[in-house]
Copies of this chain bind each other. A is one copy, B any other.
């Protein structure tokens, strides 16, 4: 049996060095969606390998068509359960830099509101999550000398671009990844005091739509009342997507969205959406507000960007030749990315005036995932989290797509447990992204407790104890 109290004490006593390592991890500009993030990705992967090797893993950096994965395995133990721990070390772009208080890849620790906050791109999403896992393993190894079962750590460098290389990697490395349970460390708590396991994950489709006039740029004074204006066409198009209550009017969009289990709806009904989106001002939303279910369980369409015509600082009398918007679709239930994309394209085509053209850009996407809340691995995780945090663990949903959960579910046919310690006011994907060092410590302790629960209730040595 592992000495859980000794391991937890080790975590607490080594908080300083743990923070130092975290700062180092945050200094890598591992932006996966930008060409000049390539070096930061490579350096970050190499550094993570050295850290994992240092703990005693056999670690490989595995190249892909995109960015490499870091795959670390314990020396073969042969005991059950086989555990896979997943995280991602790539980050979102940090632009616009001028909106950051400190530089995004120069971590800055500030004492605020009784917390030691660390500001950096990736602090919360997801390097803070990755680092808690690594530090838990380090503490376990330091105290126990070895792991009681086979542990595989998989760190991805393409999560923020939708994990394009992961499916092929999983197929090529089924043997390496074979496991009884996969933990995905990249999700939110309910609150600073209440942990959560995410069991409902929305699917995601990105799409760019460009409206093109039959002419080049025109003088808007001369042709304003008679020639097509792509900005006007695009605005009309986007405005037609939602009704006044926020319901999506794209024909066929809701096909397969289905309904949630009543037990989950009841649990969510009791929650406050203001708390679910703590730190976010929800005023100004077009549509029905006040439903956690809408946030976690309903599909939707978002406009992520729009560009057309004069984008410069001065006035310019132009009818632009084209204008485009970037949209994303969040799916639930059994909605299919390809069907949703086609429904949108048909919706647009039916509304483009003759003479204008439309171009679409986008492919693939991720399917929604629902995880059975009654799985025994979920129950073990609930026990571990309940022991660490003041309030009982909540099952939640998320609109932030984690496509890899779908890949693990579909390709490895394994139980997934999605948990993590992100807060809604961590400003992930935004300027001034942050985390706090107390959550780093308690996150690390949580992973120690989860490993101990697995050892206690599923480990080979525990076989006589479980029914």
Contact = CB atoms under 8 A, between A and B. Distances in A.
A303 B221 contact: no
A236 B188 CA distance: 32
A224 interface: yes
5 contacts: A93-B316, A216-B427, A225-B246, A234-B306, A306-B309
A39 B284 CA distance: 46
A14 interface: no
Contact of A399 (B225, B235, B315): B225
A220 B328 contact: yes
Interface residues of A, number: 95
A289 interface: yes
B304 A306 contact: no
Interface stretch (A67-75, A142-150, A351-359): A351-359
A161 interface: yes
Task: Give this chain's copy count.
Answer: 2
A219 interface: yes
Interface string A223-264: 111111101111110111010001000000000000000000
Contacts of A213: 281, 284
A456 interface: no
A431 B202 CA distance: 44
A311 B208 CA distance: 11
A303 B232 contact: yes
A116 to B, nearest CB: 22
A284 B231 contact: no
A136 B238 CA distance: 53
A231 B355 contact: no
Given A214-B284, A238-B235, A305-B311, A219 B428 contact: yes
Interface stretch (A2-10, A57-65, A292-300, A446-454): A292-300
Nearest to A299: B225
A304 B316 contact: yes
Given A219-B428, A227-B282, 18 more contacts: A216-B430, A221-B330, A221-B398, A221-B399, A222-B277, A222-B424, A234-B306, A239-B240, A283-B355, A305-B308, A305-B309, A305-B320, A306-B308, A311-B311, A316-B429, A317-B328, A317-B429, A318-B429
A292 to B, nearest CB: 9
Contact of A34 (B232, B314, B401): B314
A47 interface: no
A97 interface: no
A44 interface: no
Interface of A: 33-34, 92-93, 95, 99, 161-162, 188, 202, 204, 206, 213-229, 231-236, 238-240, 242, 246, 273, 277, 280-287, 289, 291, 294-295, 298, 300-312, 314-320, 323, 325-326, 328, 330, 353-356, 398-401, 424, 427-432
A207 to B, nearest CB: 9
Contacts of A429: 217-219, 316-318
A216 B281 CA distance: 10
B317 A204 contact: yes
Nearest to A315: B206
A231 B306 CA distance: 7
A162 B316 CA distance: 10
A316 B92 contact: yes
Nearest to A214: B281
Contacts of A318: 304-305, 429-430
Contact of A225 (B92, B223, B298, B400): B298
A283 B228 contact: yes
Most central of A93, A246, A314, A398 by chain B CB within 10 Å: A314
B221 A202 contact: yes
5 closest residue pairs by CB, A with B: A283-B355, A228-B284, A284-B355, A305-B310, A239-B239
Contacts of A427: 216
Contacts of A238: 231-232, 235, 239
